[in-house]
């Protein structure tokens, strides 16, 4: 699982920096972090890859949509509540991210379940409590499985799928995705690696200074 994600991360990183070679003249002064995904030009305008609209339910049975993240920086990841492999480490690392930006009203965390049929709001509420997730700060999301999987693949550019060939029946990325206020991917970090998460925290602070 991690080997596939790391290879995919390398390819996406190359794509991000390749796009950087086609920057608008002023981009170097505006963008402090790379933008991941395909980039197109329409006249003088640059069209970046962005996260599609979505609609999910969180651990408190609140509806979470693109309106929730409007004008906010956020970190997204994928997990499932019964995961015993990488998810506990990912959630433990995410605690540090939450704690660093606990009082920042312009920052959120969205954790998407890849097993939504099991991970109801009640299950997610118990999971959130286990990791000290704060209401309205760290959202654990459930909903339509196809929408979650499509959002992972097409918007966040990571893997999330059901796979009976794996010990736990699901395959998902260990990456934390940093998303800016324009819904663009600005970083990908190994959520099981404390050094990578330190870099994520530093990059969030850097992104907040970007004009």
- Burial class of residue 197 (count of CB atoms within 10 Å of its CB; 0-12, 13-18, 19+): buried
Q: Which CATH number do you get for residue 161?
A: 3.40.30.10
Instruction: Assess if residue 10 is contained within a domain.
Output: no
Number of domains in the chain: 1
Instruction: Assess if residue 189 is contained within a domain.
Output: yes
Q: Give the model confidence (pLDDT) of 2-59 as tens digits.
A: 555 554 554 555 455 444 444 444 454 589 999 999 998 888 888 999 999 999 999 9
Sorted by sequence, the CB contacts under 8 Å of residue 11 that are 6+ apart come out as none
Instruction: Assess if residue 193 is contained within a domain.
Output: yes
- Its domain, for residue 95, covers 49-207
Query: Hey, is 6 helix, strand or coil?
Result: helix
Given pLDDT bands bounded at 50, 70 and 90, which one contains residue 162? Answer: confident
Q: Give the model confidence (pLDDT) of 45-82 as tens digits.
A: 889 999 999 999 999 999 999 999 999 999 999 999 99
| Nearest 10 degrees: Cα torsion 16, 24, 183, 86 | 20
pTM: 0.85
pLDDT at 191 over 50: yes
Instruction: Assess if residue 42 is contained within a domain.
Output: no
Q: What is the mean pLDDT of the chain?
A: 88
Given pLDDT bands bounded at 50, 70 and 90, which one contains residue 161? Answer: confident
């Amino acid at each position: 699982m991690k080997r596939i994600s790391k290879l995919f991360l390398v390819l996406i990183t190359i794509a991000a920096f390749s796009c950087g070679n086609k920057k608008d003249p002023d981009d170097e002064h505006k963008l402090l972090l790379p933008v991941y995904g395909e980039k197109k030009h329409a006249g003088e305008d640059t069209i970046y890859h962005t996260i599609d609209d979505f609609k999910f339910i969180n651990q408190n049975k609140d509806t979470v949509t693109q309106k929730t993240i409007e004008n906010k920086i956020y970190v997204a990841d994928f997990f499932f509540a019964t995961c015993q492999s990488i998810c506990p480490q990912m959630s433990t690392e995410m605690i540090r991210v939450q704690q660093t930006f606990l009082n920042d009203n312009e920052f959120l965390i969205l954790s998407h379940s890849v097993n939504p049929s099991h991970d109801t709001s009640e299950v997610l509420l118990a999971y959130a409590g286990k990791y000290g997730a704060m209401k309205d700060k760290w959202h654990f999301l459930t909903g339509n499985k196809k929408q979650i999987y499509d959002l992972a693949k097409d918007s966040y550019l990571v893997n999330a799928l059901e796979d009976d060939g794996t010990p736990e029946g699901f395959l998902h990325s260990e990456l934390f995705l940093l998303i800016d206020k324009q819904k663009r991917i600005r970083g990908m970090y190994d959520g099981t690696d404390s050094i990578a998460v330190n870099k994520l925290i530093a990059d969030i602070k850097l992104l907040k200074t970007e004009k």
